[in-house]
Chain A
C-alpha cells in the first residue's frame, strides 16, 4: 500500500517537474513546480519525515514560490509571446546532459538498506554507522523516542548549534543583499 502511494506521488512529481521545464509561460511553470513540491512533501511524509514534509509545503511551496510569483507579477512576465526554450540543439544538449545524469545516478534505484549496511561494514570501522544501518530504522526509532519535532530540535540546538547560528548570519546577509540590490536606481 505504501509503495503504491509512493509511486503515485513519484509519478506526479516527475510529470509536474517535466511540465515545469517544458511549459512556455513562467506562471504555469511555477504552478507546475508548486505541484511537484507538494508531491515531494507527500513523499517526505511517506518516508517518516512528517515535520520536513510540512516545512516543505509551508516554506517551499508557500513562501519561496510566492516570492517567485511576486517577481513575475512585478516584471509583468506572465504573458509571453515568444518561447524562451532553446532550439533543437538546446533540446539535444538537455537530453544528453539529463540522460547522462540519470544513467550515472540510476544505479541508486537498486540500493536497499541491507546492501548499504554490508558496504559500510566492509569499508570502514564506523561503529555508530554500523549500528544505525543494522536495523535500517534509525529515524523511526528516534521519532518513537523523542517525538517527530523533538527528534529534530534536540540535535539542531545541540550538535548542530554552530551551523544553525551561521544560518542566521547567512539570512542576514541575504536580507541586506536583497535590499541593496533591489533599491539601487539604475
Chain B
C-alpha cells in the first residue's frame, strides 16, 4: 500500500504545475502546466481508489474528459489569439489593462 507516498507525489506534482503557471508567460506552456495539475489530481484519485473502491477511477475518467475538452477549446482560443496578436506571450495580451 503506497497511499501516503502517492499522495505526497501528487502534492509535489500539483505544486510544480502551480509554480509553472506563475512562472511562465507562454500560453501553451501555461496550458501544459494546467494539464500537469490535472494529472496530479488524477494520481490522488487513483491513490484513494485503491483503498476506497472504483469510484476514484471513474472520477479519473471524468477528469480526463474535461481535460480533453479543455485542451480542444483552449488551443482553439490560443489559435484565435495568435491570429489577432501574432504572439501568444501573455505580456502582449493586455487588452484588459485599460
Known contacts A7-B5, A52-B57, A110-B4; is-contact A14 B16 (Cβ 8 Å): yes
Provided the pairs A26-B28, A110-B4 are in contact, do residues A178 and B66 lie with their beta carbons within 8 angstroms? Answer: no
Taking the nearest CB of chain B, how far is it from the CB of A90, in angstroms? 6
Q: Are B20's CB and A67's CB within 8 A?
A: no
Let me know if A71 and B75 touch, CB within 8 A.
Answer: yes
For A53, give the chain B residue with the smallest CB separation.
Answer: B46
**Interface SS of B by simple majority:** helix
Interface size on A, residues (CB 8 A): 89
Contact A113 B11 (CB under 8 A): no
| Range class of the B interface residue count | 35 or more
Please state if A175 and B58 are interface contacts (CB–CB under 8 Å): no
A171 CB to closest chain B CB (Å) equals 6
What's the minimum C-beta distance from A103 to chain B, rounded to whole angstroms?
9
Main secondary structure of the interface of A (DSSP, over half): helix
Is the beta-carbon distance between A64 and B68 smaller than 8 angstroms? Answer: yes
List B contacts of A156 (CB < 8 A): 58, 61
Q: Is B69 an interface residue (CB 8 A)?
A: yes
Which B positions have Cβ atoms within 8 angstroms of A?
1-20, 22-26, 28-29, 31-33, 35-36, 39, 42-43, 46-47, 49-55, 57-58, 60-62, 64-73, 75-80, 82-84, 88-89
Q: Which 10 A-B pairs have the closest CB atoms?
A: A109-B8, A105-B11, A174-B69, A98-B19, A108-B7, A21-B20, A181-B76, A101-B15, A94-B19, A98-B15
9 contacts between A and B (CB under 8 A): A20-B32, A47-B49, A49-B57, A55-B61, A64-B35, A91-B23, A142-B54, A163-B58, A181-B73
